[in-house]
Structure 1
């Protein structure tokens, strides 16, 4: 669109800005047996961080290709200040974050920053990490932590991109399709009081992943930030015991991440919020041990946690159970057995129709690898916690 706008303004097609823009578009084309497509969202930072973390947990050594991935992540940290309009807390550090994709310093976000912190911390735990890289990794983590501190909202939670906009009520939001006003007065009202879809409020899934990063034992503690984030999650828990998920589908995404964040920062399994969250997950496990949720649960919350079997969500729940100390539970065993049974001959897993979210309840997308690294990491953590992997019974 920017290239078209520049051309419409009279710039020739040979203008350097248009040539660079079109070069980016052409380089983004992906071709396979079905033809050519251009992904709507590039996930290079997010996917690299999660894939690297999964491979480390699976036992790969931090050398050769994985070491190159670490170096690439370090180079992806933002050195240019985040846009001031996205960062409204006085004196906040506007560098040090990570974006969803590379070369996007102006739109770094809390979610990717938290995931990269957790991955970098996993690298610090590897004895084969070169000694000269250790201080660099530690410094990158500290810069990212300072960025996250500045992004914590007044309600204690974390949004993805923008600090300080209106918070959300407890539970699901964005349940009706978004319609833009057509009158000038309506547009002005929208600017003064943005809809939640435009406003980027603190959300449960992002806050849970930030707390997971802040609770990592290799990360310097931020007790004040942790306490406020925990309070936000406790306020946002639904009556069912679930937590809504903003950026992936949906309650089976928000609930595991909220549980991990709470337990990583001090909650016990007997804490009421944790106990209710675990009970919710147990109530949503399918007969075959899997978990799945239709994207229609955004528009109809009564469908929460219900849908066809989805390996990515099954893995998300399994990883959470391992991280909070329920590796030996029947729920975890059944989920692990399901992932073993559903792995394809080439080592991959089907996605089961699981979708990421742009603006619910109608705008979704999928990115390459989103169905691959969650099962690998979940099974690796399950095995590392002392549980044996086997396929278990089959189901009709």
Structure 2
């Protein structure tokens, strides 16, 4: 980095007493210095990852399920929950969104468990809103499972998910290998809890019968959400299976329970937790308790520690993250700082980058590590990276591509082995249609989204344009060293062309939304050498320009996941999405356009005195339409990346 910066130092004005720093250079310097100050001693960056109020509410529910109540902690989580209630009394899935009945039911129950009176104004408003939606019986499957375990609804109000699923052969229409990694890790301990009808300890015997419009025992419409013919047929089979459940031999149930126990305990993942995601961790912790694993057992102790590590303390307020994102944050921060370093002679920056990249290289999952990911269609030896600090069973294709791209950008030959292994593994994870999913190849058993359990529509991990684009971005720069992978790249580019929307945009599965998807693909096109006059590129550029707001920025909220006509619209401008749009336009050769200049001006106006930007909105879906996230790092590095690239494009034109 320092060598390149020194070679172009003649482009920078001398630092003399008469030198006046330009607003652009000052903005880049301030954001860079602030970002560098947040690097951890080990070399990584990690920012908060905030979800809706479901997760902190579930933490309180877990404490009462287990009768392990920390009153002081509970009070702080309750403070967080109360502060996020909407004016109509509901709780939304993302800031500014419509109220969600399942989230609101869980928060109401959690606050009641924490001691809030049902006559308190905030509780009364929440209850009235829930009842206006049809009551708690209309909540989703996961919420109804919680209500069944707290003895608020009968077990017939939840899907039949017997633990004997563990014994099904791979050819069976439903098998663990046919669903996503997050579904597997959540479901396996849940099979145990539901099959054995485990009930919460609930020491205060707190109920929420006031949230039902019909007595839960008399309710006959728990599955009214099942509408399709296939779904109704599966529901009929499920009800038939529930009738036969008493006939299951005890030895078979015992064998299936043991297999489920062995499966999830093998994947407990130390202090990082089962699947490194909160819902799976909690299910595992509760299942360990039910199966008699004592509190002082190392597995149970670490299972609880993994959950508590997700807590974020903010004075009198505490919330729980769904997971953590250090690999993702460090990789994207590294790419941002590499862009900054192209025209900056800065020893501190160089040292920080080197340390961060070495930390990333050290986190590559060893080829011999146990994991569900080892099946590789290409038969190539390799290894990827997880999203979290540790998740060896489930490396993330998206993270692996971004990390590899950053390592390759360093031009450090010591990373060559990491890069070759990453390229081999990514190539082997390509789906048959040329695209890439986040964790699995060809995870496209769409009929499974019709089962009653899958009312969230997030059971699968199919290929998506954004993940595929980042794989192409890395492979395009790598294939000259490994030419045998060129067909993989070509199939990916063909897939991306097919995935382009009619208006020129691309859907963003893991970031909000069409702006994010379009940014992803245009960067991939640039790396792959797709010319700027290619019709696909021109349509994308025209779309991005058409949705620029009057203030020069870009903005899109999560409503576009619910109604595609909202794509790129109906939100105030945000710094992180303006960064996406600017980088995308510059990747398409638009650095000199007035739209890019206006976007840069917007970022310069919006920068805060501390060097960062502040976007209050949620930035990404965990699962479109049902679960959203706020990556607290996005408004810190994406605007800086865009400004640095703009400066570098100006130098290139000079």
TM-score > 0.5, shorter chain as reference: yes
- Residue in 2 that maps onto 1:369: 633
- The answer to whether residue 403 in structure 2 is matched with residue 140 in structure 1 is no
- Residue in 2 that maps onto 1:112: 399
- The answer to whether residue 564 in structure 2 is matched with residue 286 in structure 1 is no
Q: Distance in 2 between matches of 1:165 and 1:67?
A: 36
Give 1:41 shift.
2.1
Give 1:40 shift.
1.0
Give 1:115 shift.
0.6
- Residue in 1 that maps onto 2:188: none
Match of residue 159, structure 1, among 434, 437, 443: 437
SS of corresponding position for 1:372 = helix
SS of corresponding position for 2:621 = strand
- Residue in 2 that maps onto 1:391: none
Give 1:75 shift.
1.0
- The answer to whether residue 381 in structure 2 is matched with residue 72 in structure 1 is no
- Residue in 1 that maps onto 2:328: 46
Cα distance change, pair 138–219 in 1 and its aligned pair in 2 (3 A)? farther
- Residue in 1 that maps onto 2:146: none
Q: Distance in 2 between matches of 1:160 and 1:113?
A: 10
Match of residue 538, structure 2, among 258, 267, 275: 275
Match of residue 648, structure 2, among 384, 387, 394: 384
Match of residue 266, structure 1, among 524, 529, 537: 529
Structure 1 residues 141-196: Cα deviation after superposition (integer angstroms, max 9, x where no partner): 1111011100111101111111122299xxxxxxxxx98744xxxx6xx7xxx997
Matches within 5 A, 1:79-90: 79-80=366-367, 86=373, 88-90=375-377
Q: Distance in 1 between matches of 2:354 and 2:376?
A: 36
Give 1:285 shift.
0.6
Structure 1 residues 175-225: Cα deviation after superposition (integer angstroms, max 9, x where no partner): xxx98744xxxx6xx7xxx99732211111111111111223796353211
Cα distance change, pair 83–290 in 1 and its aligned pair in 2 (3 A)? farther
- Residue in 2 that maps onto 1:31: 313
**Structure 1 residue runs without a partner (length 5+):** 125-133, 169-177, 389-396
Kindly indicate whether the alpha-carbon contact (under 8 Å) linking 1:310 and 1:354 is maintained by their aligned counterparts in 2: no
Kindly indicate whether the alpha-carbon contact (under 8 Å) linking 1:213 and 1:219 is maintained by their aligned counterparts in 2: no
SS of corresponding position for 2:323 = coil
Give 1:231 shift.
0.7
SS of corresponding position for 1:155 = coil
Match of residue 519, structure 2, among 249, 252, 256: 256
Give 1:383 shift.
0.6
Give 1:23 shift.
2.4
- Residue in 2 that maps onto 1:316: 580
SS of corresponding position for 2:328 = helix
Match of residue 621, structure 2, among 344, 347, 357: 357
Q: Distance in 2 between matches of 1:82 and 1:316?
A: 35
Q: Distance in 2 between matches of 1:219 and 1:68?
A: 27
Cα distance change, pair 66–218 in 1 and its aligned pair in 2 (3 A)? farther
Q: Distance in 1 between matches of 2:444 and 2:450?
A: 19
Give 1:323 shift.
2.5
Q: Distance in 2 between matches of 1:344 and 1:195?
A: 38
Number of matched pairs: 361
Greater relative contact order: 1 or 2 (C-alpha under 8 angstroms, separation 6 or more)?
Answer: 2
Structure 1 residues 281-318: Cα deviation after superposition (integer angstroms, max 9, x where no partner): 01111111111101011010010111221111100111
TM-score where L is the length of structure 2: 0.52
Cα distance change, pair 277–113 in 1 and its aligned pair in 2 (3 A)? same
Match of residue 298, structure 2, among 10, 13, 16: 16
Kindly indicate whether the alpha-carbon contact (under 8 Å) linking 2:327 and 2:388 is maintained by their aligned counterparts in 1: yes
Structure 1 residues 330-389: Cα deviation after superposition (integer angstroms, max 9, x where no partner): 12111111111111111111124142111111310113312211111111111111169x
Matches within 5 A, 1:233-248: 233-248=496-511
Structure 1 residues 7-39: Cα deviation after superposition (integer angstroms, max 9, x where no partner): 121111100111122223333322223522221
Kindly indicate whether the alpha-carbon contact (under 8 Å) linking 1:244 and 1:254 is maintained by their aligned counterparts in 2: yes
Spell out structure 1 runs of 4+ moving beyond 4 A: 60-63, 80-89
**Structure 2 residue runs without a partner (length 5+):** 1-281
Cα distance change, pair 87–197 in 1 and its aligned pair in 2 (3 A)? farther
Q: Distance in 1 between matches of 2:487 and 2:479?
A: 18
Q: Distance in 1 between matches of 2:646 and 2:456?
A: 41
Structure 1 residues 106-146: Cα deviation after superposition (integer angstroms, max 9, x where no partner): 1112110111011112211xxxxxxxxx3331111111101
- The answer to whether residue 410 in structure 2 is matched with residue 123 in structure 1 is yes
Q: Distance in 1 between matches of 2:604 and 2:462?
A: 37
Kindly indicate whether the alpha-carbon contact (under 8 Å) linking 2:522 and 2:587 is maintained by their aligned counterparts in 1: no
Q: Distance in 2 between matches of 1:208 and 1:281?
A: 17
Match of residue 465, structure 2, among 204, 223, 241: 204
Structure with higher helix content: 2
Q: Distance in 2 between matches of 1:26 and 1:51?
A: 26
Q: Distance in 1 between matches of 2:525 and 2:457?
A: 25
Structure 1 residues 79-111: Cα deviation after superposition (integer angstroms, max 9, x where no partner): 155776556543534741111112111111211
